[in-house]
Amino acid sequence: MMTELEQYYNKFNEEKRLDSRHGRVEYITSMKYIHDYLDEEKQAKILDIGAGTGRYSVALANEGYDVTAVELVKHNLGLLKAKGSSVKAYQGNALNLKRFEDNTFDVTLLFGPMYHLFTFEDKLKALTEAKRVTKAGGVILVAYVMNEYSILTYGFKEKHILECVRDKRISEDFKCLSQTSDLYDYVRLEQINELDEAAGLERIKIISPDGPANYMRQVLNSLTEEEFEMFIKYHLSTCERQDLIGAAAHTLDILRKQ
């Protein structure tokens, strides 16, 4: 029997999301920062954990990198394999990467799993597994969905805030109290900091891959291509600003294994 998460991703079109204007902001930014830690000689070995349909892993493999992908959902894995790239793709779980030996990869991407893990212990397990299979000195890029984005959009913009308070789905200080049936878990920066400390990982930097883009979907869609290119330029100039990160839809935590 398929899990709720598998049923969700059987219907959710991640390819289409990343092709949208707000999705392109996230994709362009994430790829820019991935490339900051890749060698020009294309010698780096990359692991994409929670690879989805392979938007990142296939693109990186097509550039000439040695890419391995792990994906939980069979539907997504089938779409990834159908692209006919050189990606070595396996079904697997971010909590258990026993297929891979310690210190194997130069760059590890953990872009989807943290969205769907609901306890500190499970998030830490995914992070420590990513650390284990990454080489000493290697880089791990970890994506999260952010608490304030959920409160502002689902809570206030979509007018669910009163029912969420009534049903105790948020705390008194407006922290989302997600259940597994919600499919997504939302975090604040202090929770990410606690995970990094517990995992013994050194932060290189933390950025927002999408900034205000998800709040501005209709505005972005109305821009000319030249205006949209200017928005990308603006976003790339501000995505490392710490005063803007916590309210974005996503963060990208860039870590080094000592």
Task: Show me where the domains of the chain are located.
Answer: 4-146+187-256
Residue 9: per-residue pLDDT: 65
Residue 54: per-residue pLDDT: 96
Question: What is the CATH number assigned to the segment(s) 4-146+187-256?
Answer: 3.40.50.150
Q: Which residues of 157-181 are buried (b: 16+ CB within 10 A; e: fewer)?
A: eeebbeebeeeebbeeebbbebeee
The 3-class SS string of 86-131 reads CCEEEECECCECCCCCCCCEEEEEECCHHHHCCCHHHHHHHHHHHH
pTM score: 0.93
Amino acid at the residue 194: E
Position 179 confidence tier, pLDDT thresholds 50, 70, 90: confident
Residue 205: per-residue pLDDT: 98
Report whether pLDDT(217) > 60.
Answer: yes
Phi and psi (nearest 5°) for 207? -130, 170
Q: Would you say 142 and 252 are in contact if contact means Cβ atoms under 8 Å apart? A: yes
Average pLDDT estimate for 170-186: 93
Least confident of 25-39, 122-136, 137-151, 173-187: 173-187
Least confident of 1-5, 71-75, 114-118, 193-197: 1-5
Residue 83: per-residue pLDDT: 96
Residue 197: per-residue pLDDT: 98
Residue 248: per-residue pLDDT: 95
> Using CA atoms, how far apart are residues 108 and 68, in angstroms rounded to an integer?
10
Position 19 confidence tier, pLDDT thresholds 50, 70, 90: confident
Average pLDDT estimate for 109-116: 96
Query: What tokens does 115 get?
Result: 């969205």
Residue 58: per-residue pLDDT: 97
Percent of the chain with pLDDT over 70: 94
Residue 180: per-residue pLDDT: 86
Report whether pLDDT(51) > 80.
Answer: yes
Query: What tokens does 229 get?
Result: 């290119």
> Using CA atoms, how far apart are residues 113 and 226, in angstroms rounded to an integer?
34
pLDDT in tens, 200-212: 999 999 999 999 9
Report whether pLDDT(1) > 60.
Answer: no
> Using CA atoms, how far apart are residues 223 and 173, in angstroms rounded to an integer?
36
First to last CA, the chain: 41
Report whether pLDDT(50) > 80.
Answer: yes
How far lies 67's CA from each of 6, 129, 130, in Å? 24, 17, 15
Look at residue 185 and give its three-state secondary structure.
coil
